[in-house]
Structure formats: structure tokens, C-alpha cells
Amino acid sequence: MNLLVTGAAGFVGSRVAAKLLEAGHTVAVFDDLSIGSPENVPEGAELIEGDLRDADAIRHAVVGCDAVVHLAAQALVPESVENPQKAIDINLVGGTNLLEAMRKERVKRLVHSSTAAVYGTPTKVPIEEDDPKMPINPYGGTKLAFEALLQSYHAAYGFHVTAFRYFNPYGPTENHHPETHAIPNFINASLTGKPVPLFWNGEQTRDFFFVDDIARAHVMGLERDGFNIYNLGSGSGHKVRDVVELIFKLTGKDSGIEDLGERAGDPPQLLADTTRARTELGWEPEVSLEDGLKQTITAFEKRLNKD
């Protein structure tokens, strides 16, 4: 298929684009490069620099596509709290520009990157796709609203949609500025000899899983008809403090822990029920936490030495 992949110069999108190329698809990347880098775009993919908020630019990029894999977003929770309008403009207005471009160009197949943030503070764990959804930040709110919009385009225009709700992905290509995600902050602290910052003394449980497992799911999602939503996670939780201790072991550098105390809105447990993805897609996470951390640490070490 001829595919347009939005946001594929970033952390997850670059790995998704690489897996799609490996599967034999033709890939064009649409990215504004505000967070991503041209260096992340895999060899063999065409880079189109553009902004989702530019309706003409995204419609031009959609021409000739068979399907779209949509990962472009304002995806940093703290930024969405500080500047909710930006999250609305990119995730909802920009997302609508994409859907309208697809409708007008008769492209009716979409794989979408959603988030576990749509659930907010869970009522139970593990979390199933049909559990209550009560976002506690604008990022999660815009993602849930866009899922509803996708459902309406499926019902009204016959779009085939597969959306994946990520839990706690990590991997070698993660390099945000500022970095707000746990594992890259833990690795960077360990490698540079700084105390690892932990809320709740690291007693929370989180569902960490490797970025390449996400990428494989997106390849599978292209084959699904209808409207589908799947949780993506490891299916087994890890206590945050235990993950930090494993990072210390793998880096050989125990830089200590800085306890930041309690944090409002921080649920004690987040864990995905991935039964639906396993049974309907045949998807299973393949990379263990230790193997994924080894790959990630190696990449971060190279980046630090390069800098």
C-alpha cells in the first residue's frame, strides 16, 4: 500500500514507519519537525515537512494514498495542561483536517495512535477497552474526543479505523526536550551520575513496553476492517522502583534516588488488559523489559558520547 504516516520523525512514529517499510509498503512521512528530527525518518521513506493545522498541506500529502497511519499529536501531558489550546488545535483541529482530507480524496483506511490517558484514574486494573473513560488532562481529553470523531467518520463515511491506546512505551528513539517520560529520565540520570527523580518513592506500578512492539501492532492494524480499539501494553505491571534498580544494574551506575514525594492525579497502578489485541490481532509483546532497556541504554550512551 501507499501510506502516509503522520508524525513519523518522532519517537514512536519513526519505528512504525520503519516496520511498515519492512513489510513492503511505500511510506511518505508528514511531520512539522517541531519535536521530531529528519534523522529519525527511516531510509526509503519520503519526508514531507508540514503542519496538520494547514488543511491544504495535509490534503496535498494525502493525494494518492491507500491509507494513513496517524501518530502526529501534541503528546506531552504537562504541556497540554499549561497550553490546552495547543493540544486542541493539533489533536482535534489538525486531526479533523486530516479526516477531511481523507474524505475528500476517498482514502478510507486509518490506523491511529491513541493513549491510555483517555481512561484517567482507572476504576480497576487491569484496564479493559470498555472501562470508564474520564481524562484528567487536556491531552487525554483531546484524544478521547478524536476517538469519538473517528467513530463518526466510520459510521457516516465508511472509514475503516483501528486505534491503539498506548500505556507506557519506551525505546531508543525517545528524545524529547524537555523530557517528561519516566524511563528516558531514569536512564539519563543514571548515565550522568544524577539522582533518579521518583514520585511516591517509586511504589507505583506501570505498564512499560518496547516501542518496536507498538510498531508491529500498527502493521497488523492496517488489515482490520470496521472500527476497532485496542490497548497496547506489556500486560504485566512493573513497580517503578524495580525498573530503576534494573537500569542501575544494566548501566553499572547506581546514581541514587531523589524522592519527590506525592503527586496529585498519579494513580498507584496502570496496567493494560491486552486480551482483545491478542485474540483479534494475534499481537503479543515480544521484547522483554530487560532486553528493551539494554537497547535503549545503548542508544542513550551513544547520544551522550556524541554530544
Mean pLDDT of 143-172: 97
Q: What average pLDDT is seen over the chain?
A: 94
- The pairing of strands 205-206 and 238-239 is antiparallel
pLDDT at 52 (0 to 100) = 97
Residues 263/307, Cβ–Cβ less than 8 Å: no
d(CA 39, CA 187): 22
Contact 10, 209 (CB under 8 A): no
Q: Which amino acid is at 199?
A: F
Phi, psi of 186 (to 5 degrees): -65, -45
Sequence-ordered list of residues with C-beta below 8 angstroms from that of 83, at least 6 positions apart, any chain: none
Q: Is the pLDDT of residue 222 over 70?
A: yes
Q: Verify whether residue 119 is a known catalytic residue.
A: no
pLDDT of residue 178: 64
150 touches 118 (CB < 8 A): no
Max alpha carbon distance in the chain (Å)? 56
Name the catalytic one among 119, 139, 153, 170.
Answer: 139
Q: What does the pLDDT read at residue 220?
A: 97
C-alpha to C-alpha distance for 299 and 60, rounded to whole angstroms: 35
**Which pLDDT value is given to residue 49?**
97
- Mean pLDDT throughout 206-224? 96
List for the chain the helix, strand, coil content (%; round to 5). 45, 20, 35
Residue range 175-207+236-306 in CATH 3.40.30.10: no
pLDDT tens, position by position, 250-294: 999 999 998 888 876 677 888 999 999 999 999 999 999 999 999
- Residue 297: in which H helix or E strand, if any? helix 289-306
Identify which of 267, 134, 148, 256 has the alpha carbon closest to the alpha carbon of residue 205: 267
d(Cα 219, Cα 292) in Å, to the nearest integer?
20
Exposure string (b/e) for 43-75, b if CB count within 10 Å is 16 or more?
A: eebebbebbbeebebbbebbeebebbbbbbbbb
pLDDT one-digit tens code per residue, 52-72: 999 999 999 999 999 999 999
Q: What is the pTM of this model?
A: 0.94
How far is it, in rounded angstroms, from Cα 107 to Cα 126? Answer: 35
Beta-carbon contacts of residue 259 (< 8 Å; ≥ 6 apart)? 198, 201
Q: Any idea where the domains of the chain sit in the sequence?
A: 2-169+208-232, 175-207+236-306
Distance linking the first and last C-alpha atoms of the chain: 38
Mean pLDDT of the 42-60 span:
97
How far is residue 295 CA from its own chain's centroid? Answer: 18
CATH architecture of the domain with residue range 2-169+208-232: 3-Layer(aba) Sandwich (3.40)
The residue type of 290 is E
Q: Cα–Cα distance between 77 and 102 in angstroms, integer?
A: 28
C-alpha cell at 288: 522483554
Question: Rounded distance, CA 115 to CA 294, Å?
Answer: 25
**pLDDT the model gives residue 307:** 62
